[in-house]
């Protein structure tokens, strides 16, 4: 049973945290004893009797909101320096380093009472998580997903994550498939979460604006396997980083490897794929080689935790679509596909799989790059599109605080003498989609890449409503 949602902070708890985290934790005044009903890191969400975590962020320092938190009813503060208030304060060198463990304690360590499976990697996290939930549901275990499709962040901040896990447990959920981002790992968001298994899909080029180098990006991803006591580890043996991670994890837990070379009788079409693995047949309705790889990750993970092949097959076949992940928008004359591909590797995999499925059909791709993110990948995206597609329209994605025209110009530096596709630019994403659909020839596959499930565009002034699929349908009507 989970404990009541109330945490007593006293000397015993402080000593326990210090030993468990191997860091110095102290409370002021040293005689303080306080009951905490919640852990909050956003001063706008303060509730009576909560512990307010003063997190130092990129744009704001939570210590500057401590007075407001106290006035709104915070019972104690979590700080990295003592503040001039009589309210009890827990002091640590780095607030984020203890946030996960404290949040887990506040909400009764809900992951201990469930089977939590962490999924990390550059591409495929969302699809693998959705497939895993479907497989466990097929086996009669109520399952849920925490990830990109369920909230604003791929992996929520620690207090939100632990509260969500608590809610899921109280709702009868026994298995949670969780997308675990590199950001969340370096920011300790999943500390305090007990993982029954972890899956590594692949490693491409992404988030170098945060991590700096590919090596540091890989190190961040590997933390899920090396620092969280995971017993069952599933890695992609076709990915060089997956093989390295498998070697690093050997001796820490049980390592299970999956590879496309293990399958037989693979048949692929725009409607999905069928294949045989170890004598068992599997069908995946999501098209493309990358979705076969995603299915292999799910099969390996489910087998590792004792799920029978017939249950796995039933669960995989029950997944008809994953929003924004090679989502097919059918048309009598041509097919339109919406996909979240926003890295060079993901875009190349998407285009190559469409070429493999339909070698004689013309590929038209519309894509852009987000502002405020890794700028070095922009020309690489153009290089991939220019060699793998027949026609390319470079447009705006989520420009955020950058000039969309400047982003497009940086992308287009990747076109060169090696570019075989016709290419053009259109900064208005709606107009770019309309152009691609209206000009499509019979038999074309029109791919709208980069935003996938997102239903907005983000500018310096904020977010505005924007849905790639809605614009495809509007353009299709205009074409008619």
Residue 158 near residue 103 (C-beta atoms within 8 A): yes
**What is the model's pLDDT at position 208?**
52
Mean pLDDT for the chain?
A: 92
What is the pTM (predicted TM-score) of this model? 0.87
Q: Does residue 120 carry a pLDDT above 60?
A: yes
Q: Domain-by-domain residue ranges, the chain? A: 7-106, 110-318, 327-479
Residue 33 near residue 58 (C-beta atoms within 8 A): no
- For residue 132, CA distances in Å to 203, 224, 315, 318 come to 20, 18, 8, 11
Q: Does residue 114 carry a pLDDT above 90?
A: yes
More confident residue, 114 or 23: 114
Q: Mean pLDDT across the stretch 380-388?
A: 97
**What is the model's pLDDT at position 212?**
58
| Three-state secondary structure call for residue 448 | strand
More confident residue, 284 or 29: 284
Q: Give CA angle at 119 (113, 124), nearest 5°.
A: 145
Other beta carbons within 10 angstroms of residue 203's beta carbon come to 24
Beta bridge partners of 463: 458
Residue 437 near residue 400 (C-beta atoms within 8 A): no
**What is the model's pLDDT at position 4?**
46
**What is the model's pLDDT at position 15?**
87
Tens of pLDDT, residues 13-67: 888 888 888 888 888 887 788 899 999 999 899 999 999 999 998 788 999 999 9
Q: In whole angstroms, what is the distance from residue 391 CA to residue 183 CA?
A: 35
**What is the model's pLDDT at position 31?**
74
More confident residue, 131 or 122: 131
Nearest to 379 by CA among 369, 371, 388, 389: 369
Q: Write out the two tokens for 47.
A: 């509730």
Q: Does residue 356 carry a pLDDT above 70?
A: yes
Residue 207 near residue 225 (C-beta atoms within 8 A): no
| Interior/surface letters 121-142, b for 16+ CB within 10 angstroms, e for the rest | bbbbbbbbbbbbbbbbbbbebe
Residue 94 near residue 57 (C-beta atoms within 8 A): no
Sheet containing strand 272-277, strands side by side: 263-269, 272-277, 280-284
More confident residue, 213 or 175: 175
**What is the model's pLDDT at position 104?**
93
Q: In whole angstroms, what is the distance from residue 467 CA to residue 480 CA?
A: 20
Task: Domain 327-479: state its class.
Answer: alpha beta
Query: Domain 7-106 belongs to what topology?
Result: 3.40.1390
Tens of pLDDT, residues 176-225: 999 999 999 999 999 999 999 999 999 976 555 555 587 888 888 899 99
Tens of pLDDT, residues 420-443: 999 999 999 999 999 999 999 999
Tens of pLDDT, residues 327-346: 988 777 899 999 999 999 88
- For residue 435, CA distances in Å to 114, 212, 265, 441, 475 come to 49, 37, 39, 12, 8
Superfamily (CATH) of domain 110-318: Mur-like, catalytic domain (3.40.1190.10)
Confidence of residue 1 (pLDDT cuts 50, 70, 90): very low
């Amino acid at each position: 049973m989970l404990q009541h949602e109330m945490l007593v902070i006293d000397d015993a708890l402080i000593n326990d945290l210090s030993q468990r985290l191997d860091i110095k934790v102290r409370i002021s005044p040293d005689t303080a004893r306080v009951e905490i009903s919640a852990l909050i890191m956003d001063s706008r969400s303060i509730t009576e009797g909560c512990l307010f975590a003063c997190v130092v962020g990129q744009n704001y320092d939570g210590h500057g909101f401590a007075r407001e938190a106290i006035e709104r009813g915070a019972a104690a503060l979590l700080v990295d320096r003592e503040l001039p208030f009589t309210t009890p304060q827990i002091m640590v060198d780095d607030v984020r380093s203890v946030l996960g463990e404290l949040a887990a304690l506040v909400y009764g360590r809900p992951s201990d009472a469930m089977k939590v499976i962490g999924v990390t990697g550059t591409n495929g996290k969302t699809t693998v998580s959705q497939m895993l939930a479907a497989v466990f549901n097929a086996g009669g275990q109520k399952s849920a997903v925490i990830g990109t499709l369920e909230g604003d962040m791929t992996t929520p901040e620690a207090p939100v994550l632990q509260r969500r896990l608590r809610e899921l447990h109280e709702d009868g959920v026994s298995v949670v498939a969780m997308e675990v981002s590199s950001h969340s790992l370096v920011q300790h968001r999943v500390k305090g979460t007990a993982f029954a298994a972890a899956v590594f899909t692949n490693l491409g080029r992404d988030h170098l604006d945060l991590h700096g180098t590919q090596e540091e990006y890989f190190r961040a991803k590997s933390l899920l396997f090396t620092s969280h006591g995971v017993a069952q580890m599933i890695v992609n043996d076709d990915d060089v980083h997956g093989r390295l991670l498998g070697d690093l994890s050997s001796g820490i837990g049980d390592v299970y490897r999956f590879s496309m070379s293990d399958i037989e009788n693979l048949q692929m079409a725009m409607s999905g794929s069928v294949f045989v693995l170890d004598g068992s047949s599997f069908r995946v309705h999501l098209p493309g080689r990358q979705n076969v790889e995603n299915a292999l990750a799910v099969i390996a993970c489910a087998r590792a935790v004792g799920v029978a092949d017939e249950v796995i097959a039933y669960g995989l076949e029950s997944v008809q679509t994953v929003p924004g992940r090679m989502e097919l928008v059918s048309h009598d004359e041509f097919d339109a596909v919406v996909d979240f591909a926003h890295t060079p590797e993901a875009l190349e995999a998407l285009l190559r799989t469409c070429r493999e499925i339909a070698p004689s059909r013309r590929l038209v791709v519309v894509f852009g790059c987000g502002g405020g993110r890794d700028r070095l990948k922009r020309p690489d995206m153009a290089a991939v599109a220019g060699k793998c597609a027949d026609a390319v329209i470079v447009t705006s994605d989520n420009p955020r605080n950058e000039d969309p025209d400047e982003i497009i110009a940086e992308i287009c530096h990747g076109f060169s003498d090696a570019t075989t596709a016709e290419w053009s630019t259109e900064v208005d994403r709606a107009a770019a989609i309309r152009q691609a659909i209206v000009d499509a020839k019979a038999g074309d596959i029109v791919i709208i890449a980069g935003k996938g499930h997102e239903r907005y565009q983000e500018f310096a002034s904020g977010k505005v409503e924007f849905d790639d699929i809605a614009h495809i349908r509007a353009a299709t009507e205009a074409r008619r």
